[in-house]
Amino acid sequence: MTVADESPAGADPADPARLAATVARAQRGDLIALHDVLDAITPYVRRLCGPIALQDAPDAAQETLIVVLRRLGELREPAALFGWVRVIAVREAVRVAKQSSRAVPVESVEVPAPDDPALAADVRDVLNRLSPEHRAVLTLRDLEGLDEQAAGQFLGVPAGTVRSRLFRARRSFARAWRTEGSDR
């Protein structure tokens, strides 16, 4: 093992080959590599869970990381880590959001912040009004940029279902946005 392999930056997401090597070491039981993998995926997991699970985003992120820890050995292609994690994160975020009975207003949902903080807050407020399924499809299609087929694979539904959910989600978002706009 080289010094570079042992560095804390071993799971640099910008270097896919290095990340894949770090994942492979983690799968073999290297705890430092496992720590590096978790460091690399945690911000991504939080970014995915935030708009879907809302106030339960920290719980959804934690559940996602637990599943990743338990199932990392099942990942066949270490280079596919982020795609594999995305599937788990979206499913866990939807599951946690559905189970939640809390109706506490959210202040910490991570939505990609534009230059206008007030606009970001308005978007968060409107997202809070949507169902977990609608937040998930909007996150995958509009924030992650996936096509219907890929989003359907992550959500475990056919592409046609993604299209219909996306249509309804965008319509609900637009309706809520107009209502929110009259309050501004």
Position 184 scores a pLDDT of 53
Q: What's the rounded Cα separation, in Å, for the pair 118 and 130?
A: 19
Q: What's the distance, CA 36 to chain centroid?
A: 19
Q: Which CATH fold topology does 1-107 show?
A: Rna Polymerase Sigma Factor; Chain: A (1.10.1740)
pLDDT in tens, 109-159: 455 455 667 777 777 788 888 888 898 898 888 888 888 888 888 888 898
pTM: 0.63
User: How do the domains of the chain map onto residue ranges?
Assistant: 1-107, 111-184
More confident residue, 123 or 9: 123
Q: Which CATH fold topology does 111-184 show?
A: Arc Repressor Mutant, subunit A (1.10.10)
